């Protein structure tokens, strides 16, 4: 694994591994022990330009390549990931503090999405549509958009990068990928290395490790990319969307969430507790779908709270390399300070801590808060860490109102003994995804993934990925002669 941090601490432009020409370095730290893993000299705006131009040059021939040939590259990539699964899991644990369970979860999903990308190669279909004009043949072709810019997040970097990179490439596009600066290897250069070894022609995938402090908006406003696929905060996503709209680019935005898990009065309490604990504390709560809020019908609130708190107290906090660890470090000190500040604000506003985790560096123990005032801004925002709010309610109508009282609408869940009651409840929630009798954290290759409100624009997975990274082109053929009016 250590060789990854040595060999892949570079830029990957036009099929060549090279050193950035910026004046400073991105330092890749292990968030658990602050070990320096890698140092990467940042790419400049000029290198962003080189990467996009390389992708554009390579894309034309790649788009004309037989889709069965394109598919074979990703079949080989899947085999390489399977062969190196333990090494990649170790890298995820080191670079982003993912526990063993989290690393396995991410790799399982990454392989599933890569399998779907392999099938996607043969999915684009054309149509012949009827015309009101005699002798007119209307052909509608589905073609690659050209070049796609991908910006991925730090929390599930290997999965989230592959989720856009693989389908965009297999559909005949070129790609420039900018991974998060906290996870440049797992989210960036490791993927380039795997695809290079799998036989992807040089220039089609370029990985730029840099920061907006160096390049400003050069990555998103460059004239070559036709689609920008961004995963991150809604604040940055708003800016990406603004630039894309100004420059007539398509934006696919997977943004923040403030999901709720709702426990109705007829729920299986023990099962709901298990689902709620996982939904909030998976990967230290650093998941856009995580359940920030757990709403419980007041008639079962005491029982649920007692069992929930008891289970949370059993969660082991510590070294993510230890298989017993459930909660490892958050990604960096800035995030730790933000989470700590949110807890302090909640307590100052009158909330009660049923469990208050200790903070040691980037390690934050799980915190369970109740009694937070209904008007608190904390209830309407995303907290990207192991902190959860327990909220009682008296009626389904009240629960629906509370769940929807947020700018976000990504995921959520409801627990009930009556499935159709759960579905009826789910239909009232302003989200892109909602789950009955399950957790809030789910992603599947065939099901449209995305949010409403401030949680994003567009969808990925399955047919929606096809729509995201291709476009349609109408070519008409006139058999015989058209009669023109003049």
The catalytic residue positions are 254, 288
How many C-beta atoms surround the C-beta of residue 87 within 10 A? Answer: 15
Question: Residue 469's closest CA among 123, 218, 78?
Answer: 123
CA-based end-to-end distance of the chain: 73
Question: Residue 385's closest CA among 344, 432, 335, 311?
Answer: 335
Using CB atoms within 10 A of its CB, is residue 38 exposed (0-12), middle (13-18) or buried (19+)?
A: buried
3-state helix, strand, coil in the chain (%, to 5): 40, 20, 35
> Are the C-beta atoms of residues 230 and 256 closer than 8 Å to each other?
no
| Structure token pair of residue 383 | 């907290």
Q: Which residues contact 314 (CB under 8 A, 6 or more apart)?
A: none
What string of DSSP letters covers 352-404?
EEEE---EETTEE--EEEE---TT-GGGGS---SSEEEEEEESSHHHHHHHHH
Residue 229 main-chain phi, psi, to 5 deg = -105, 115
> Are the C-beta atoms of residues 375 and 384 closer than 8 Å to each other?
no
What one-character DSSP code corresponds to residue 300?
Answer: G
> Are the C-beta atoms of residues 455 and 409 closer than 8 Å to each other?
yes
Measured CA to CA, the distance from residue 96 to residue 152 in angstroms comes to: 14
Q: State the angle between helix axes of 100-120 and 157-170 in degrees (0 to 180), rounded to the nearest 10.
A: 10
Residue 25 main-chain phi, psi, to 5 deg = -115, 145
> Are the C-beta atoms of residues 300 and 269 closer than 8 Å to each other?
yes
Measured CA to CA, the distance from residue 485 to residue 264 in angstroms comes to: 68
> Are the C-beta atoms of residues 153 and 232 closer than 8 Å to each other?
yes
| Structure token pair of residue 135 | 């002798």
């Amino acid at each position: 694994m250590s060789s990854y941090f040595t060999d892949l601490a570079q830029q990957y432009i036009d099929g060549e591994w090279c050193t950035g020409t910026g004046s400073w370095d991105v330092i890749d730290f292990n968030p658990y022990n602050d070990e320096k893993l890698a140092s990467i000299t940042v790419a400049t705006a000029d290198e962003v330009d080189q990467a996009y131009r390389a992708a554009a040059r390579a894309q034309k021939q790649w788009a004309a390549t037989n889709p069965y040939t394109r598919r074979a590259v990703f079949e080989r990539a899947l085999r390489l990931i399977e062969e190196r699964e333990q090494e990649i899991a170790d890298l995820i644990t080191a670079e982003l503090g993912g526990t063993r369970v989290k690393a396995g979860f991410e790799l399982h999903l990454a392989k599933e999405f890569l399998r779907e990308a392999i099938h996607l190669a043969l999915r684009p279909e054309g149509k012949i549509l009827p015309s009101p004009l005699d002798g007119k043949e209307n052909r509608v072709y589905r073609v690659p958009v050209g070049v796609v810019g991908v910006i991925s997040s730090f929390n599930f970097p290997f999965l989230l990068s592959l989720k856009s990179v693989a389908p965009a490439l297999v559909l005949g596009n070129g790609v420039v990928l900018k991974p998060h600066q906290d996870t440049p290897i797992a989210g960036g250069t490791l993927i380039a290395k795997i695809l290079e070894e799998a036989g992807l022609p040089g220039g089609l995938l370029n990985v730029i490790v840099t920061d907006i402090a160096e390049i400003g908006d050069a990555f998103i406003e460059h004239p070559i990319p036709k689609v920008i696929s961004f995963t991150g905060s809604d604040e940055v996503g708003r800016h990406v969307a603004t630039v894309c709209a100004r420059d007539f680019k398509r934006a696919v935005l997977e943004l923040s969430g403030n999901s709720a898990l709702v426990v109705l009065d007829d729920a299986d309490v023990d099962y709901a507790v298990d689902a709620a604990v996982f939904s909030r504390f998976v990967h230290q709560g650093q998941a856009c779908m995580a359940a920030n809020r757990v709403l419980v019908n007041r008639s079962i609130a005491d029982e649920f709270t007692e069992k929930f708190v008891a289970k949370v107290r059993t969660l082991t906090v510590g070294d993510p390399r230890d298989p017993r660890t459930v909660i490892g470090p958050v990604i960096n000190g800035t995030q730790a300070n933000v989470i700590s500040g949110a807890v302090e604000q909640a307590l100052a506003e009158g909330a009660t801590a049923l469990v208050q985790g200790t903070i040691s560096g980037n390690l934050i123990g799980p915190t369970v808060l109740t009694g937070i005032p209904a008007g608190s801004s904390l209830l309407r925002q995303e907290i990207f860490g192991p902190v959860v709010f327990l909220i009682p309610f008296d009626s389904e109508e009240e629960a629906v109102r509370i769940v929807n009282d947020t700018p976000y609408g990504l995921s959520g869940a409801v627990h009930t003994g009556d499935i159709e009651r759960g579905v009826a409840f789910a239909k009232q929630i302003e989200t892109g995804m909602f789950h009955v009798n399950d957790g809030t954290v789910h992603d599947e290759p065939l099901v449209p993934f995305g949010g409403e409100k401030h949680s994003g624009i567009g969808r990925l997975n399955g047919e929606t990925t096809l729509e995201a990274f291709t476009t349609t082109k109408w070519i008409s053929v006139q058999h015989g002669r058209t009669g023109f009016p003049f």
